[in-house]
Every structure is written in structure tokens, then in C-alpha cells.
Amino acid sequence: MRLGVNVDHVATVREARQGRQPDPVSAALLCEEAGADQITVHLREDRRHIQDRDVRVLRELVKTQLNLEMAPTDEMVSVALSVRPDTATLVPEKREELTTEGGLDVLGGGDKVATAVRRLREAGVRVSLFVDPNLDQINESLRIGAEAVEIHTGRYADAAGSTERDEELHRIADAAKLAHRVGLEPLAGHGLDYQNVGPIARIPELTELNIGHSIVARALAVGIAEAVREMAALVRFHRAGVPVG
């Protein structure tokens, strides 16, 4: 299982003073050295954390894979076509949200999402869609030409108790199974941390987890390289466990 590390929140700290430090690019390179298989950044339309220059420099320096999270808008598609990340992950976006609140509505997205997928794929950019663990959304992602789906794990992470958490876990497992069966690569992310990642890592169809906030938070205590090493070790440990479902 691959581990993608999202360095958005390093940029969040930098933008609090609108200065130069801490540098998300430097953090990303440390993450790679510590075992990250991918660097993920979300270039939001309001540029609240990651900036265009960060994405351009990361494209030059990242040696693993660069995953650009982005809204399916003309502006963001143009940025992606210029930068050419290894993967473009299309996500929903609202100015007032603190973080991404749910999956992309592929079914209700009309031609907007499909057009973004087509333009990116024609340029040779791999396209993933960030979707809720909903089987209809998975099938529609396949229909419009996506190559992967990142299954939203936020409701699992925020579950109030074990019953709700188990229900969400099985929804995620079922979505991953369907995606794998129809030929979409199943990925997962959002809200995962050192306490809740285990059951997700044990879903056999999942091939990649994208984790950011908890790693950056842990880095305040142990440094970002050690935080990545700890998460990578947890993922490897749980991956060898009993499959879910």
C-alpha cells in the first residue's frame, strides 16, 4: 500500500504570517526521504495555503509522485495542464469550508466534471475522483473516464461510536471492492490518523492512503521525517493483518 503525504498544513502555518517559513516544498522532500510514496497538495481557488509557485517547484523537485488536488474548474484544469502532475484528483470545494467536507458529486456534476476528466486525460494526466463510499458515484466515475477513485473516509474518522464507525468502514470496503472489480484503482483518504488508520489499511483492495493533517500535527512533536516513518510503519503493520469484510 502506498502512502501519500499531504503537506497543505505546512503551508497553512506559513500563510498565517504570509512569510516564507515553514516551506511545504522542503517538508515534502523530507517526507520523500522518510518513505512517502507520493506528495499531495490541494491548490484551492482562494489560495489559502498552497500557492501556484509551490506546485511548480514541487513538480520540478518531487522524485516520487505528485498528486494535485483541485476543483473541476477551467482555472484549475489550466493549472494542471501547465504543471502536469502525475495525478490530478478532482475534489469539491466551497470557500466557507475549513476542509473538504465530502465527496465530489459525480452524478450531479453534469458535463463540468466529465469535461475536466476528458481534458486532463487527453493531456496524459492520470485522473482520480474524490468520492463518498457510494456505489452509484463509483459507477459514474467509471462512466466518465476516471482512472481511480479516492474514497472519502471522513465520516468514518468522525464517527461518534463503534456502531457508526463499523457501518462506515463496511461502506468504504464495499466501495473499494466495486471500484477494483470495474477497473478503477481504489484509494482512500481524509481524517485518517495514527489511531484510526489500521482498519482502513486492512481493506485489501485499497492501494493508497493519502494522509496530511495528522502527520503534520505529529511532526510538531517528533519532526516530519519521523512522523512519516511512524505512519508508514503503521500502514505496513496493519496491511499484514486480517482483511475487512
d(CA 244, CA 122): 36
Residue 188 host element (H or E)? strand 185-189
Q: Which of 32, 190, 205, 208 is catalytic?
A: 190
d(CA 75, CA 241): 43
d(CA 36, CA 1): 11
Catalytic residue list contains 190: yes
Q: Which of 9, 42, 49, 152 is catalytic?
A: 42
DSSP string, 43-91: --TT-SS--HHHHHHHHHH-SS-EEEEE-SSHHHHHHHHHH--SEEEE-
- Residues pairing with 129 in the sheet: 90, 149
Give the Cβ contact number of residue 81 at 10 Å.
Answer: 15
Q: 3-state class of 140 per DSSP?
A: helix
Q: How many separate helices (H) and strands (E) can be counted in the chain?
A: 11, 8
CA distances from 197 to 123, 154, 175, 201, 206 (A): 34, 12, 17, 6, 12
Catalytic residue list contains 170: no
Q: Which of 69, 140, 185, 208 is catalytic?
A: 69
Instruction: Please say whether the beta carbons of 161 and 197 come within 8 A.
Output: no
**Residues with active-site annotation:** 42, 69, 190
